[in-house]
Amino acid sequence: MHVKSILAATLAVAFSTTAYAQEFNDPAEFKKQRELLSTKAEGPEGKPWEQHLGGAMVDTAKFKKDGKHTICFSNAGVFNPWRVVGLNNMKGEAALQKDRIQELVILDAEGKDDKQISDIQSLLDGGKCDVLIVSPTTTAALTPAVEAACEKLPVIVFDRGVNTKCPVTYIHPVGGYGFGITSAEFIASKLPKGSNVLAIRIVPGVDVLETRYSAAKSIFDEAGINVIGSEFTGSDRAKTKSVVEDYINRGQKIDAIWMDAGDTATAALEAFEDAGLPYPVISGEDQQDFLRKWQKENLVAIAPSYPTYQWRTPIIAALDILDGKSVPGPEWNLPQPAITQETLASYIDERMPALHYSLCGCQDLPGYPEQWGAK
Amino acid sequence: MSVDTLSSGRTRRGFRDLPVPLVVIALAAFIYVTAALATGQANQISLTGLSGLLQRTVALGLVGLGQTFAILVGSIDLSVAALISTVAVLASYLMQGDAGMIVPAILACLVLALVVGVINGGLVACWGINPLIATLSTGLILQGALAAGFTYLGGRVAPEFQALAYQAPFGVPLPVLLLAVLAIVAWFVLAKTRFGAHLYAVGGNPDGAKLAGLRVERFVLAAHVIASLGACVAGLYLAARLQSGTPWIGRDGVYDLESIAIVVIGGTALSGGKGGVLGTLAGVLLFASLDASFNMFGVDAFLKQVLRGAIVIAAVAVYAVRNKGHVA
Amino acid sequence: MTAIPDTVRPSRRVSIRGLNFALLIFVVLYAMIAVLQPNYLEAGLFMNFLRRAAPLVILACGQLYVILSGGFDLSMGAVVTLVVLAASMLIGGDPAMTWPVIVALYAMGLAVGLANGAIVAFLKVPSIIATLGTMLLVNGLALAWSGGAPRGDLPDNFRNLGRLVLRDVPLVGTLPVAVIILVGATLLAGWGLHRTAYGKRLLAVGDNPRAAELAGVPVKPTRISAFVVSALAAVTAGILIGGFSGVSVNAGRGLELQAIAACVIGGAQLLGGRGSVAGALFGSLSLFALFTLLNLLGLPQALRDSLQGVILIAAVGASVLRHRRST
Amino acid sequence: MTAVLEMRGIGKAFNAVAALDAVDFDCRAGEVHVICGENGAGKSTLMKVLGGSYRPDAGEVLLDGKSVRFLHPREARAAGISIVHQELSLLPFRTVAENIFTGMEPTRWGLLDRPRMQDRARALLQRLGSAIRPDALVADLSIAEQQLVEIAKAMLVDAKVLVMDEPTAALDDRDARSLLDLVLRMKAEGVAIIYISHRMPEVMAIADRVTVLKDGRRVWTRDRADVTVNAIVTAMVGRELQDFYPARSPTAPGSPVLEVRGGGNAQLRDIDFVARAGEIVGVAGLEDSRKSVLAQALFGDAPFTAGQVRIDGQPARLRSPREAAAVGIGYLPGDRKREGIAPRQSVRDNALLTLQAMAPVLSSPQGGARSRPEVDQSLNDMDVRAGDFGQEIATLSGGNQQKAIIARWLMQEPRVFVFVEPTRGIDVAAKAAIYETMRALANSGRAIVMVSSDLPEIIGVSDRILVMHQGRIAGELPAGAEEGAVMRLALGVAAATVAGEMAS
């Protein structure tokens, strides 16, 4: 039985590797995002959520509407802390603009594509909405629903996109390749050729995460760094820690940890502490717990981000559209900064909870910091 | 089969003596209408609003129909969620946007469901493995194989196939019609055919059914095949509606536990032999109106979960509480 | 009497069945680990293995009580999540709060267990539905309370329960605190089930509630108590998990099914009446050894799920066959 | 007359233990062939071989002279063998008609032909002399009515051979008599009837031939004219059984132990009676007399909501079995398998269960019994025969299970013992042992209440007889009363007359 399953496994691995190469390794997009990372942002200084990286503007005069507006938002869900912080940002932005907003209607799809399609349908049927914001669960699934919505309303899509150009604009930071590039280039710059890196990832098959890994992998390959393992831990700290311990127990030297999302970064580091080993070079994300640990333990680290401030932008865009102001589109590329040793201190806020995302851009919003769970 | 016949309260009539499905449907309607009126969204009670409501019942309803059969024979199927994902992924992989592949893809999915159903049924009926463990395991196996092969299995359904999920002749969405037709077929099978009568016999008293000359194993097997086919149709529907399948749509939709919940809420006994598809439809309608009402009230996602948990318990308790025996 | 042939069958001991088999599976799996990675035979790594397996073992022991009483507890994972989040929020990084909060956590567990038990015993809702409901409810409460993301912090004295490893201990060398808790909890569970009148009542209730009732067993309190034991076990496991790896919103996800699987591998009969703590112990160690083995083999994550399914069928199927042969 | 059915040299073993050993058996058209034997003698196994549930290891079955081999009950059924099973195999939530036709539903254009099912079911039930409605739910029927449905189910096919496995076990006397009439009618129609029973009067009334099995072997087969009850019993137990019912105690009963005054609940009315130390009070009545409810009320299982109960003069609250056990009432349930044993627990734990239930939760599993040898001693005193008291109780015979449950209560040392159908489905030798035990318990100063549908047992064992009718005590009769007197009270016809006699 074991022989068989190992055989099957080998086959599957063989298939998967070729498939990754096809699906999530788009050299053109990789190149584009690499360029975007170094593009100078246009827009108000110090407000990255209002900035954009190049691209065109779209005219929205036909959507102009007077009075207070009802903004409707179909959310994929709040199933992880990133989305929780993001939703708080959006609500904060709406509170900031409360003079111009009649109501912000939020329907939560709980991660179910099918429900989100129905949610969008019922928002349209309800007839209250002036503009629709969609954060899709999956790209392909939501396309028809968004297309149907475009016929009735101005639509704004953010985070993940849809396969149609009908929304007024699609707001997103640079993207997954950019995330992978920033983190992997940092690690490669700190380690000699032939070093070992362990990749800790959330789940397979999710586009925004797979692109991060494929970008990092190609940079590691180029730099001659061995990826000794790529493990999925489902955002589970216990699992992350166990997996890293298992690798340590195998006696293999781990020089760096690369993560496609940083929410279990501190758990990975704890495995080294418990084993009495020095910390590896690590790439995490902009969560407070990681930043604090980085500062306290003087890690060699970087925190690339997929900034949650992008949740503010759709509200701003929605109001601009209803005012008839032109907005960046049909793609609105937001800057995607990384936290480095130099900027680290400015992102640490001891009041904030462990998994607060520091690049929330929410410090100026009403209700900060309590609404974001500060003590 | 000693049945407690001492109850003297048989003449007392109350709402508890009404058929479960009717009460559940009434409850669902009450919740939905109240929510619509209370939030000033009376237009949700229009034809479009209602068809939107019905649309929400389709996926879970299709799985629930199949699950009803599994539970009626005293078994249960936890592998439906994984099967839904597998079917959705397989359908989009085989079609690759090509209309010519619609029929072959559907056939392939049906064959896959048949195989899974036979394996489930075989493990439960012939090998005698507890159905919870057996179907949990087949679900794990499917889910694993799917996740391993998924990136290799990318694709999308044919646009013509996708259109099926969005068409609405006479204002009634086609998938709702599909659910209605399949529900009628399922009802017909259970109420009007020997096969249906035998399913009840096997679920109600397997030893007795065997002594009456029924091949119990075959009926358990058949029920599992039907459960898998229900999941298969749900998977195809989701693939059409979502354009392409992902390995998580089944799990994220919690179709395994939710389908069991609606079947039980609809009055089908977990021990088997009692209940039917009408109850299942009522159960799914209750879930859909809750969903829609939570939306109308703008209930927070986490609070929604709390309420749903409480309502599942309450809905079953209303009927279960009068049971005389012990329940575990 | 149809089920029982009118013949005298060879005598069959009641308690040991199941144990041997799970122990065997565990030894085989651990041997395979050792072949791949010989340093797992060192005391230190074995202790580390036990430390990580501790939450699952404790969950399985709690789940066993419910299974023996004839039910299921699907709410265990949600309780673990609640415990981890609540601990972090209530303690808020203040070491002085650790012990009072632990008391509060057990009080929460008690409440959930009582609720589960009361719903099953008094409202007569089948436990699989009842605990599915409380699973949603508790999980929703935990998330709503925390706002969907972990807040607060766990101080070191709390973390140590799941994390600290005592060094230079005679005989074993290193000894994780979690292993001490594991041993204590297992002994307690074993004592409660096999060395008290209560345990016998529980088995009788799961085996034939009506007969137990007519023998004077307080069926409802006994049944409720099983859910309480299970919830308290989940609290303990939650404290260990929170200690081992810190706060997380999905700390408990899927653990209930693992615990049920562990009991079943350990020879417990679903729907009640037969099973042992030793079986649950070795069942969960087997399951955990399997996870570790699959990690070491470096199989893709996805196939580990599949393999787990295969092993589950094989273990239960084998026990069905053994049982069939003896009847 | 040639044999419709012939079984030759049938052998069947479980785990190398022979359940049947070279058994020959035959049955002719238009005869009633009774099979007698102790529990475990192999009767049910033989019928399961005939019915296709078991495959024989040796021997052959001939039907109309042709060798047949059934691999599944359906094949036996198709060949004209109908079995009325001892266990009811009905579906509680389906209608009577659906139950009767299970597996043989008539169809029309492939669909269920419900009108035809209703009509044929009604006709069948009428033939059985019953007015049960075909569209009634089985769950709403009494046990006796369910038994009739079970028989109707077996009669649906035109059976060549009809097997009835203790069909009267759950029936009271009146229903049992009408069932026997039916058997005789079927016989007249030319059906070969195999009838299994422990009730000797029944056997003597309907048998044409009798076969006795013992330990999986046939002892003999004889014509009715050549057998006596004594001969059957001797062959079954392998020794002479002198006195079936134990002698009554020579001393007068002592002080009242159990007193019920004005007891009532939803189903019982005006229950007044006393049970004294040293006496066995029999409670008789028809199936619908609610005599078993009285037993449940005494044990707090269907508690009295009105009236007063005293134990040894002290008022007692009996709101649950647990409370009843605590004040010194012991209870032997009528349905051993469903209400008595915890099948997967050891014999020892089953015997200890009440002690465990009443002991402090965290005390030792001995439940206050001082030692394991002491527990084993109680089991040995009851003559429970098991290879090892650690083995699962489900592996024991019915009689031994019953004795283990009596041992359970003996260790609790109750003041009052309520026995419900104490010998239902138990073979003759074990019956006698249980009567002896009951008498011994009474002689040790306890009061015994015995609820039974077995009239000879009521008359043979009781010191006084209470007869119930429609939830009331219709009257009281002295020891050794006439069957007729009991029946009159039970039928509610002569209540006034009898009461008058008692008063005078």
In the block, tokens 């029946």 appear at D487
The pLDDT of residue D229: 82
Split at pLDDT 50, 70, 90, the class of C183 is very high
Contact B320 C124 (CB under 8 A): yes
Contact C163 A274 (CB under 8 A): yes
Residue type at C36 in one-letter notation: L
Q: Is the pLDDT of residue D499 over 60?
A: no
> Which is higher by pLDDT, D238 or D349?
D349
Contact D146 B3 (CB under 8 A): yes
Among chain A residues, CA nearest to C29 = A2
Q: Alpha carbon D361 to chain centroid distance?
A: 35
Are both A191 and A295 inside the same structural domain?
yes
Contact B166 A144 (CB under 8 A): yes
Q: Do chains A and D touch (3 or more CB pairs under 8 A)?
A: no
How is residue A280 annotated by DSSP?
P
Average pLDDT over residues C277-286: 94
In the block, tokens 């465990």 appear at D356
Split at pLDDT 50, 70, 90, the class of A286 is very high
Closest in A229, A231, A353 to C150, CB measured: A353
Which residues in chain C touch residue D359, judged by CB atoms under 8 angstroms apart? 197
Task: Give how far Cα D103 sits from Cα of A139, A145, A294, B208, C227, Å.
Answer: 52, 50, 73, 10, 41
Q: From C268, C223, C221, C207, select the one nearest C127 (Cα to Cα).
A: C223
Q: Is the pLDDT of residue C133 over 80?
A: yes
Closest in C125, C140, C223 to B317, CB measured: C125
Range of the domain at A318: 55-174+307-334
> Which is higher by pLDDT, C100 or D105?
C100
What pLDDT digit, counting tens, does each position of D54-93 carry?
A: 889 999 999 998 999 888 888 888 888 988 876 667 888 8
Q: Does A5 touch chain C (CB under 8 A)?
A: yes
A281 to chain B nearest CA, in Å?
30
Q: Does B327 touch chain C (CB under 8 A)?
A: yes
Specify if A39 maps to a domain. no
Are both A135 and A206 inside the same structural domain?
no
Contact B197 D92 (CB under 8 A): no
Q: Is the pLDDT of residue B131 over 60?
A: yes
A240 to chain C nearest CA, in Å?
9
Specify if D245 maps to a domain. no
In three-state secondary structure terms, D189 is coil
Please tell me the pTM assigned to this model.
0.89
CA dist A227 and A196 (Å) reads 6
Closest in C133, C210, C272 to B313, CB measured: C133
Are both D274 and D229 inside the same structural domain?
no
Q: Is the pLDDT of residue C269 over 50?
A: yes
B131 to chain D nearest CA, in Å?
21
Q: What is the ipTM of this complex?
A: 0.87
Q: Is the pLDDT of residue A12 over 60?
A: no
Structural domain total, chain D = 2
Average pLDDT over residues D167-182: 80
Residue type at A161 in one-letter notation: G
Q: Is the pLDDT of residue B11 over 60?
A: no
D300 to chain C nearest CA, in Å?
9
Answer whether D329's CB lies under 8 Å from D304's CB.
Answer: no
Which residues in chain A touch residue C40, judged by CB atoms under 8 angstroms apart? 249
Residue D114 belongs to a domain with what CATH number? 3.40.50.300
The pLDDT of residue D102: 87
Among chain C residues, CA nearest to B306 = C137
Q: From D382, D371, D367, select the one nearest D441 (Cα to Cα).
A: D382
Are both D261 and D174 inside the same structural domain?
no
> Which is higher by pLDDT, A6 or D38?
D38
What pLDDT digit, counting tens, does each position of D455-478 carry?
A: 888 888 999 999 998 889 999 999
Are both D25 and D79 inside the same structural domain?
yes
Are both A163 and A92 inside the same structural domain?
yes
Specify if A59 maps to a domain. yes
> Which is higher by pLDDT, D51 or B323?
D51
Mean pLDDT of chain C: 88
Contact B149 A121 (CB under 8 A): no
Specify if D251 maps to a domain. no
What pLDDT digit, counting tens, does each position of B65-92 carry?
A: 999 999 999 999 999 999 999 999 999 9
How is residue A60 annotated by DSSP?
-
Q: Is the pLDDT of residue A9 over 60?
A: no
The pLDDT of residue C70: 93
Contact D103 B8 (CB under 8 A): no
Range of the domain at D106: 3-237
Which stretch of A1-10, A23-32, C204-213 has the lowest confidence by average pLDDT? Answer: A1-10
Closest in A9, A23, A111 to B154, CB measured: A23
Query: To the nearest whole percent, how much of chain A has pLDDT over 90?
Result: 69
Are both D28 and D94 inside the same structural domain?
yes
- Residue C148 has phi, psi (to 5 degrees) of 90, -5
Specify if A151 maps to a domain. yes
Residues comprising chain A, all counted? 375
Query: To the nearest whole percent, how much of chain D has pLDDT over 70?
Result: 94
Are both D103 and D184 inside the same structural domain?
yes
Contact C12 D392 (CB under 8 A): yes
CA dist C107 and C97 (Å) reads 15
Specify if D152 maps to a domain. yes
> Which strand (E) or helix (H) includes residue B140?
helix B131-150
Show which subunits contact A, needing at least 3 CB pairs below 8 angstroms.
Answer: B, C
Average pLDDT over residues D363-377: 79
Specify if A354 maps to a domain. no
Specify if A12 maps to a domain. no
Residue A197 belongs to a domain with what CATH number? 3.40.50.2300
In the block, tokens 């049944």 appear at C223
Are both D391 and D497 inside the same structural domain?
yes
Which stretch of A14-18, B265-269, C43-47, C124-128 has the lowest confidence by average pLDDT? Answer: A14-18
Are both A153 and A263 inside the same structural domain?
no
Contact C37 A250 (CB under 8 A): yes
Contact D78 B205 (CB under 8 A): no
Where do runs of H (alpha helix) occur along chain A? 2-23, 27-37, 81-96, 113-126, 139-150, 176-190, 207-223, 237-249, 265-274, 288-297, 313-323, 344-347
Best-predicted range by mean pLDDT (A330-339, B11-20, D248-257): A330-339
Are both D272 and D174 inside the same structural domain?
no
Specify if D447 maps to a domain. yes
Are both A169 and A183 inside the same structural domain?
no
Structural domain total, chain A = 2
Closest in D15, D301, D331 to C9, CB measured: D15
CA dist A255 and A262 (Å) reads 17
Are both D63 and D152 inside the same structural domain?
yes
Among chain A residues, CA nearest to B303 = A108
Q: Is the pLDDT of residue A20 over 60?
A: no
Q: Does A140 touch chain C (CB under 8 A)?
A: no
Specify if A181 maps to a domain. yes
Mean pLDDT of chain B: 88
CA dist A262 and A290 (Å) reads 8
Are both A239 and A282 inside the same structural domain?
yes
Split at pLDDT 50, 70, 90, the class of B23 is confident
CA dist D454 and D257 (Å) reads 25
Q: Is the pLDDT of residue D366 over 50?
A: yes
Answer whether C265's CB lies under 8 Å from C286's CB.
Answer: yes
What pLDDT digit, counting tens, does each position of B214-265 carry?
A: 899 999 999 999 999 999 999 999 999 988 888 888 888 889 989 999 999 9
Q: Does C10 touch chain D (CB under 8 A)?
A: yes
Q: Tokens standing for D312?
A: 């040894």
The pLDDT of residue A249: 86
B115 to chain A nearest CA, in Å?
19
Contact A143 B243 (CB under 8 A): yes
Q: Do chains A and B touch (3 or more CB pairs under 8 A)?
A: yes
Which residues in chain D touch residue C9, judged by CB atoms under 8 angstroms apart? 14-15, 17, 395
Which of residues D185, D202, D237 is at a domain's end? D237
Contact C215 D408 (CB under 8 A): yes
Q: Does C45 touch chain A (CB under 8 A)?
A: yes
Are both A232 and A206 inside the same structural domain?
yes
Q: From B146, B153, B158, B162, select the one nearest B93 (Cα to Cα).
A: B153
Closest in D103, D140, D267 to B213, CB measured: D103
What pLDDT digit, counting tens, does each position of C170-179 carry?
A: 887 889 999 9
Mean pLDDT of chain A: 89
Q: Which of residues 190-209 of A touch C (CB under 8 A)?
A: 204
Average pLDDT over residues C17-30: 81
Locate the domains of chain B by residue range.
Answer: 19-31+42-318
Closest in A6, A16, A81 to C249, CB measured: A81
What pLDDT digit, counting tens, does each position of D130-161 carry?
A: 888 999 988 888 777 888 888 888 888 878 89
Specify if A9 maps to a domain. no
Query: To the nearest whole percent, how much of chain B has pLDDT over 70?
Result: 94
Specify if D244 maps to a domain. no
Please, what is the end-to-end C-alpha distance for chain D in angstroms?
58
Show which subunits contact D, needing at least 3 CB pairs below 8 angstroms.
Answer: B, C
Are both D278 and D134 inside the same structural domain?
no
Q: From D375, D368, D402, select the one nearest D389 (Cα to Cα).
A: D375
Q: Does C133 touch chain A (CB under 8 A)?
A: no
Specify if D272 maps to a domain. yes
C33 to chain B nearest CA, in Å?
22
Split at pLDDT 50, 70, 90, the class of C13 is very low
Answer whether C84's CB lies under 8 Å from C238's CB.
Answer: yes
In the block, tokens 């809420």 appear at B265
Tell me if the domain spanning B19-31+42-318 has CATH number 1.20.1410: no
Which residues in chain D touch residue C268, judged by CB atoms under 8 angstroms apart? none
Average pLDDT over residues A319-347: 94
Counting runs of H as helices and runs of E as strands, what totals does chain A give?
Answer: 12, 13
Q: Does C211 touch chain D (CB under 8 A)?
A: yes
Which of residues A253, A287, A302 is at a domain's end? A302
Which stretch of A151-160, C56-65, D121-130 has the lowest confidence by average pLDDT? Answer: D121-130
Please, what is the end-to-end C-alpha distance for chain C in angstroms?
14
Contact B1 D87 (CB under 8 A): yes
What pLDDT digit, counting tens, does each position of B30-59 carry?
A: 999 999 888 887 777 888 888 888 988 999
Are both D326 and D179 inside the same structural domain?
no
Contact D356 C203 (CB under 8 A): no
What pLDDT digit, counting tens, does each position of A219-251 carry?
A: 999 999 999 988 888 888 999 999 999 899 888
The pLDDT of residue D493: 64
The pLDDT of residue A295: 95
Specify if D247 maps to a domain. no
Answer whether B197's CB lies under 8 Å from B43's CB.
Answer: no
Are both D312 and D198 inside the same structural domain?
no
How is residue D338 annotated by DSSP?
I
Are both D210 and D336 inside the same structural domain?
no
In three-state secondary structure terms, D82 is strand
Closest in A118, A125, A141 to B56, CB measured: A118
Split at pLDDT 50, 70, 90, the class of C191 is very high
B236 to chain A nearest CA, in Å?
12
CA dist C33 and C31 (Å) reads 5
Among chain D residues, CA nearest to C2 = D87
